[in-house]
Structure 1
Amino acid sequence: MHVRALRSQPRILVVEDEVDLSTSLSYSLRAGGYDVQEADCGEAALQAVARFHPDLVVLDIMLPDMSGFEVCRRIRASAENQPAVVMLTAKTQELDRVAGFEVGADDYVTKPFSIRELMLRIEARLKSHRPAHHDFNPERKDASTQDEERVKIGPLIIDKAEHRVFVDQEEVHVSALEMRLLLYLARTPGKMRTRKELLTEVWGYHPEVLSRTLDTHIKRIRDKFGDAGKVIQTVRGVGYRLAVVKDNE
C-alpha cells in the first residue's frame, strides 16, 4: 500500500468491507482534501494504522475477520499512534454505542447516514486531535505563553496548544477523547467536575447511559500515567478532579 510523503493533508483510514460504501466515502473524503487509504478487514486496518499513521480512522464495527471493537481496542493499546476513531455500524442499540466508547472510540455514526453528517463529525474530531511533532520539547516554551498553553501538576504536563501530554518529561500517548477529558478537567485544577457534567461536555451523550464509560476512560488514563495517575482524584459518588500539586511535591 503506497503512503504519501505529504503531511499537510489530514490522513484518514477508512475501514469498511462494503465496497460501494468504502469507495463512495473515500471519494468524498479525497474531494474534501483528505489523504485517504482504505482497508476491508481488521488485520489490514491494524497494518495500515502502523504504516500510514492516520489522524483519524473511520471504522465499521462489522468486519469479516474481527469486530471493529477489537480493532479499536488494539489501536488504543498501541503507544505509538493514537488517531481519532469514528465508528460506523448498522446497529442502533445503546449498548453497542457504549461498547464502542469503552474501547476508546471518539464518536459513533449509525447507518444509514448522510456523507455530509459524517464529514462534519470528522472535521470536529480532527480539530480536537493534533498529530504529534517529534521535535517538541515540553520545557521549551516562551514564558509569555507558557502559563496559558500548559497545565503542570507535579510530574504531569498537559500542553493545550500541542494537544500533548508528558509525565516526567516523557510523552504519554493518549487518544483524542482522553485528551478532551484531560483538557476539560485541566480548565480548573482542584475543582470537582460531576460525572454528569463530564459526560455531557466531553461525550455529549446522556450521562446515565455512559456512566461506566467515564470510569473506563479515567482508569485507562491513570494506567498510562503510572504513579502520576493519582493526580486524577475521585470524588466518590460524585465525579473527578485534577489535584493541585506544589512543584516540590
Structure 2
Amino acid sequence: MLTLFGTGALLMRGAGCTINDMWDKDFDKKVTRTASRPIASGEISQLQALAFLGVQLTSALAVLLCLNYYSIALGAASLSLVVSYPLMKRITYWPQLVLGLAFNWGALLGWSAVIGSCDWSICLPLYFSGVMWTLIYDTIYAHQDKADDVLVGVKSTALRFQEHTKPWLSGFTGALLAGLVLTGVNAQQTLPYYGAVSLVALHLTHQIYTLDINKPEDCWKKFVSNRNLGLLLFLGIVFGNLWKSRNDIVLNNGRKEE
C-alpha cells in the first residue's frame, strides 16, 4: 500500500505540476526563477506537455484502480482540485488554500484504501492539519516570487499577508497542532505520536521565528525543511501504532493469564 501511494503521489503531484506549467507558461517567462522551466523556455511544446500529462494521469488511474471502489470514487473526486489550482492565483489571494485541499487528499484516501471507508472523526482533522501545513510552507515559498508576481498580476497569500506573514503563519501552526492532537485523541494514538507532534511544534516555531520573508534564499531553505517535518510526523504515526499494538498484545496476554 505504501508503494501504491508513493507512486500515486508522485504521479498526481507531477500531473499537478505539469498542468500548472501549462497554464502558467506566459507568466513563468516573466519570472526570473521560473523562466527556465521546460514549457516556458520552449524546450517542450504544449502538445508534448499534454501528451506527458496523459501518461501521468493514465498511470495514476492504473494505481487508483488497485484500490477499493470507495477509494476509487474518492480519488477521482480530487481531480477537480488538481486541475483548478493553477487558475486560483488569477482570481484569489488564497491559491495556497486550494493547493492544500488538493495536496492533502491522501489523508482521506489513505484511510479509505485500508479500511474501505473514512472515519471522519480522524480523517477530517488530519486533512485540516495538512491544509494548514500547506498554507504555511507554500506561503513561505511564495515570498520568493512576490516582486515578480506583482509585475505579472499573480496573486498569493504572500502578497495578501505581506509584513503580517508571521502572525498568520503562527495562527496556521496553532490550528495545525490542534488538528493533530484531535486526530491523535480520536485515533487513540500513543506517546511516540504526541512526541512527534511536539517536535513538529518546535520545528515550526523555529522556522517561523527565524524566517526572513525578504530573502528568497532563506524562504527556499525554510520551505525545503518541511520535508523533515513530514518525516517526523510519519515516524510518529508509525511508532505510535507499534506502541499501541504492543500495549494491546500485553493487555491480551494479561487477560489470558487471568
Q: Is TM > 0.5 for Structure 1 vs Structure 2?
A: no
Of structures 1 and 2, the one with the larger relative CO (CA 8 A, separation 6+) is 2
Q: Which of the two has higher C-alpha Rg?
A: 2
Greater fraction strand:
1
| More helix per residue | 2
